[in-house]
Amino acid sequence: MAANSCRLLVVEDNDADLFLIRQALDDYGILATVTASADGETALRLIDSFEAAAIPNAIILDLSLPRVSGWDVLRNLRDRPAFSGIPVMVFSSSPSPPPHDKHRVELLSNVRYVQKPIGLTNFLRAVGENVKAMLGEGSSSVQSKAP
Amino acid sequence: MKETFGHYLETTLASIGDAIISTDLEARVLFANTAALSLLKVEASEILGRQLDEVFIIQNELTRAKVESPVKLVLREGKIVGLANHTVLIASDGSEIPIDDSAAPICAEDGSVHGAVLVFRDVTERRRAEATSRLLASIVESSEDAIISKDLNGIIRSWNQGAERIFGYSADEMIGNVISVIAAPDRPDEMPKILERIKDGERIDHYETVRSTKSGKLVNISLTVSPVRDARNRVVGASKIARDVTEQVRARAELAEQRERLRVTLSSIGDAVITTDDQGRVTYLNPVAEELTGWQTSETAGKPLEEVFRIVNEESRHTVESPVTKVLTEGRVVGLANHTVLIARDGRERSIDDSGAPIRDAQEKTVGVVLVFRDVTERRTAERKLHIQSSELRRTNEELSQFAYAVSHDLREPLRNVANFSELLVRRWNPSDSESRPFATQILDSVRRMEILLNDLLAYSQMGGPQEHPAGQIDTEQIVQRALANLKASIDETGVQITIDPLPPIFGYETQFLQVFQNLIGNAIKYCSERPPRVYICAHKGRNELTFSVRDNGIGIAPEYQKMIFGVFKRLHGKEIPGTGIGLAICSKVIERHGGRIWPRQGKRREAFVHGRLSRPGGSARPG
């Protein structure tokens, strides 16, 4: 594995989107080891099983998932200190919840919410730019934690 | 022998009950018997030989003038003299005794007068009796009632003024006449029958009948007839007291008629009526109440209302407080709680609707309660059916809306994939295969259009859904500015000139109105066919409503299409003007949900108007 390679957890049940996410990483020159999960349940199991050193640098999370939803995954992540500094990007085809849906808005307080854009170029750009930004955040936090 | 006879006479005179005094020719007292001495309250020795005037002092009872002793007159005239009436004797102790007297001369066989004898008696008792009888007579005379006496043959013996007043005949006309004169023509047998009963010693009390007067008019009288008995207790006649009760009879008849009218009214009204006394005990049920409760008035008299009028709540089945108790404690009209069920005697249940009101007497005291109720089972059933139907309709609508949401949302996913991969295909096209490349482009175009369609459909189905902000006061001008910001690209592209008048605030859902204005302004920009394109937004404040209008200088809407433009997916134009046909449907839905209406207008100068007419804030605007 290359020195500048990062670990990415992608929770996405749509194979086509997963394919495009990989395409975006490629297009934007992001070297990443992608761990993919097609449902919330598997995602939670994966999150449980990560060795401390193998915890992903960023997470891309779809919301509408079979069985355990993305919201439950978010709630679960929030309760894990080991994941407290890991940036999460919610990547959903639905628009962000309205302000009066306080419960969900609160769950999203430290999360970037990106609606899956229409058009290939837009889609690829959304993934590429947001992942780059998240990795920047992650590495800075890693640096601050372990100088 | 002569002496003996003289003594015998003296003894006789002495023992006679009347008082006797004899005098000589000079009016000197020669003899006074015991009765005389006792009345004068003197001893014989005190008066014998004295002048009669000195010992027998009499006065007129009324004038108190001294009356001359009749003895003087007798001696002068030589004949019997009666005393004037109302004479009182003043006794020796000053006490007064009413007397009745006469004096006669004592004559010898040859007719010569030797003296006078005065005979008098105490008439106190008689006077008293006379006074009593006068009093009674005057009472009889002055009585308002007719007081008549008659013998057993029906011959009238007395006839007072009351009788004259009631029957019109005077005492002179009637005394000695037969009583049947006043009999009513249609009751010939009545009087003889009464007389028969009287003969048997019976008394007739307050017997109401009719008599005829002198003028032929009939009067209602209440009659009391009693037998009159003689000293030997034999019935010798009858006394009757008759009272004119024509007024009472009329009033009573009127009252009865009124009662009957009320009874008939209560019996014939369609509502059930129950009345109670002030203790809440049943006094009356009308026929409808009898039918609904299953009780007859005759069976319920005095029963507590709760026993006859059993009511429970439709859902909880708890006994509902009797409205009668409430009326009696609060003294006012009380309506029954909703959803009350009456349980009849046979257990049958009916939904009822009712109210109770106090019955007050002339003194405003509550003396009972009148309860009016009706069977609303059918109405309640209809209401319930309607309620079920409307909730079913609501559910169907919700399902439809959810369905539309699901369809538009779920269709987007695969569509996005089709779009993305068509694009990927176009991007990686083998340049040598130029022929089939337009096919992929065509797919891409169709997918994009479908995507827009689904987005609009999604917006339409989500309107009023849970994501909505609560309704409130909306700053319309700010909403229009936000709409313009969202439309910035097409505004820049077309160079449209937009004029906005001052716009008053409205009440409703902000996001929905943003969509309305965005759609209307977007449409206006789209259809500006003239150059330069112009859009004019204004508001008109009517008496009860606000009218907003968004106008452009474009092609306008032909009358034949004006109705269909608000339908979902209805479009008037081909591909030359982009659109999904959902925009105006959304506008229509929003405005209708807010209690307003929306309509197009074809102006003379080919201007298209779309007005939203909305109730003023705080008016009847219904939140969506």
**B314-335: pLDDT as tens digits:** 888 888 887 888 888 888 888 7
CA distance B27 to B50: 8
| pLDDT value of position A128 | 95
Residue B172 sits in a domain whose CATH number is 3.30.450.20
Residue A78 CA: distances (Å) to CA of A2, A83, A88, B59, B410: 30, 7, 11, 140, 29
Query: Does position B302 have pLDDT exceeding 70, yes or no?
Result: yes
Q: Decide if A98 and B467 are in contact by the 8 Å CB cutoff.
A: yes
Q: What is the pLDDT of residue A7?
A: 93
Q: Same domain, yes or no, for B492 and B607?
A: yes
At residue A44, the pLDDT reads 92
Give the global pTM.
0.39
Chain A residues with beta carbon closer than 8 angstroms to that of B429: none
Q: B595: Cβ–Cβ under 8 A, 6 or more apart, which residues?
A: B614, B615, B620, B621, B622
Q: B590 to chain A, minimum CA–CA distance in Å? A: 19
Question: Which residue among A23, A93, A121 sits closest to B416, beta carbon to beta carbon?
Answer: A93
Q: Which of A127-141, B121-135, B214-228, B482-496 has the lowest mean pLDDT?
A: A127-141
Provide residues of B within 8 Å CB-CB of chain A: 409, 412-413, 416-417, 419-421, 423-424, 427, 448, 451, 467-470
Instruction: Answer yes or no: do B427 and A120 touch at CB < 8 A.
Output: yes
CB-nearest to B420 from A94, A98, A120 is: A120
Based on its alpha-carbon atoms, the radius of gyration of chain B, rounded to whole angstroms, reads 60
Same domain for B476 and B454: no
Q: How far is B412 from chain A (nearest CA, A)?
A: 8
Asked if residue B136 is part of any domain, the answer here is: no
Nearest to B416 among A97, A98, A116 (CB): A116
Number of domains forming the structure of chain B: 5
Please check whether residue B355 lies inside any domain of the structure. yes
B410, B416, B427, best to mutate vs chain A, most A CBs in 10 Å: B416
Contact A14/B413, CB-based, under 8 Å? yes
Q: Are residues B409 and B371 in the same domain?
A: no
Cβ-Cβ contacts under 8 Å, A93 against chain B: 409, 412-413, 416
Q: Using an 8 Å CB-CB cutoff, list chain B residues near A65.
A: none
The domain boundary residue, chosen from B355, B375, B395:
B375
- Assign B608 a pLDDT band (cuts: 50, 70, 90): low
Distance from CA of B384 to the nearest CA of A (A): 35
Q: Are residues B467 and A16, on separate chains, in Cβ contact within 8 Å?
A: no
Q: In terms of residue numbers, what domain contains B513?
A: 472-623
SS3 B202: coil
> Is the minimum CB–CB distance between A81 and chain B shorter than 8 Å?
no
> Is the C-alpha dihedral spanning B584, B586, B589, B593 positive or negative?
negative
Contacts of B421 in chain A (CB under 8 A): 16
DSSP element (H, E) containing B118: strand B113-122
* B621 has a pLDDT exceeding 50: no
For A17, name the nearest residue in chain B, comparing CA atoms only. Answer: B417
CB contact under 8 A, B409 and A17: no
Q: What is the CATH number of the domain that holds B578?
A: 3.30.565.10
Q: Tell me whether residue B109 is in a domain.
A: yes
CA distance B19 to B14: 9
Q: In this structure, is residue B180 part of a structural domain?
A: yes
Task: State the pLDDT at residue B577.
Answer: 58
Is a pLDDT exceeding 50 seen at residue A1?
no
- Which residues in A lie closer than 8 A to residue B416 (C-beta atoms)? 93, 116, 118
- Distance (Å) from the C-alpha of residue A123 to the closest C-alpha of chain B? 8
| Whether residue B602 sits in one domain with residue B478 | yes
CB atoms A16 and B421 under 8 Å: yes
Predicted confidence (pLDDT) at residue B488 exceeds the cutoff of 70 = yes
Q: Is A134 on the interface with B (CB under 8 A)?
A: no
Q: Is residue B416 part of a domain?
A: yes
Question: Across the interface, which of A98, A100, A118 has its CB nearest the CB of B416?
Answer: A118
Task: Give the closest residue to B354 by CA, choosing from B256, B273, B255.
Answer: B273
B235-263: average pLDDT: 88
User: Are B277 and B335 part of one and the same domain?
Assistant: yes
pLDDT of residue A22: 94
Can you tell me the mean pLDDT for B511-533?
A: 80
CB-CB under 8 Å, B409 with A93: yes
When the pLDDT of each residue in chain A is averaged and rounded to a whole number, the result is 85
Q: Which residue of A has its CA nearest to B445?
A: A119
Q: Considering the domain boundaries, does residue B255 fall inside one?
A: no
Region B514-528: mean pLDDT is 82
Q: Are residues B32 and B59 in the same domain?
A: yes
Same-domain check for residues B455 and B477 = no
Domain end position, chosen among B128, B163, B189: B128
Distance CA B206, CA B241 (A): 9
CB-nearest partner of A118 from B409, B451, B468: B451
Whether residue B258 is contained in a domain is answered as: no
User: pLDDT digit string (tens) for B147-192?
Assistant: 999 888 889 999 988 899 999 999 899 999 888 888 888 887 888 8
- B40 with B47: CB under 8 angstroms? yes
Q: Do B424 and A120 touch (CB under 8 A)?
A: yes
Which residues in chain A are contacts of B410 at CB distance < 8 A?
none
Size of interface A-B (CB pairs under 8 A): 35
| Residue B511: closest C-alpha in chain A | A98
Please tell me whether residues B447 and B492 are part of one structural domain.
no
- Residues B537 and B555 both lie in one domain: yes
Residue B254 lies in a domain: no
Lowest-confidence pick of A49-53, B66-70, B431-435, B606-610: B606-610
| B183 in the same domain as B97 | no
Same domain? B492 vs B615 = yes
Helix (H, G, I), strand (E, B), or coil: what is residue B66? strand
**Residue B474 confidence (pLDDT) above 60:** yes
Give the distance, in angstroms, between the CA of residue A55 and the centroid of all CA atoms in the same chain. Answer: 12
**What is the residue type of A138?**
G
Q: Which one has a higher pLDDT value, B479 or B101?
A: B479
Same-domain status, B419 and B481:
no
A142 in contact with B, Cβ within 8 Å: no
- The residue from B434, B461, B488 where one domain ends is B461
- DSSP track, chain A: --TT-EEEEEE-S-HHHHHHHHHHHHHTT--EEEEEESSHHHHHHHHHH--GGG--SEEEE-SS-SSS-HHHHHHHHHT-GGGTT--EEEEESSPPPPTT-HHHHHHTTTSEEEEPPSSHHHHHHHHHHHHHHHHHHHHHHHHHH--
Read off the pLDDT of residues B332-345 as tens digits, 9 standing for 90 and up.
888 766 778 899 99
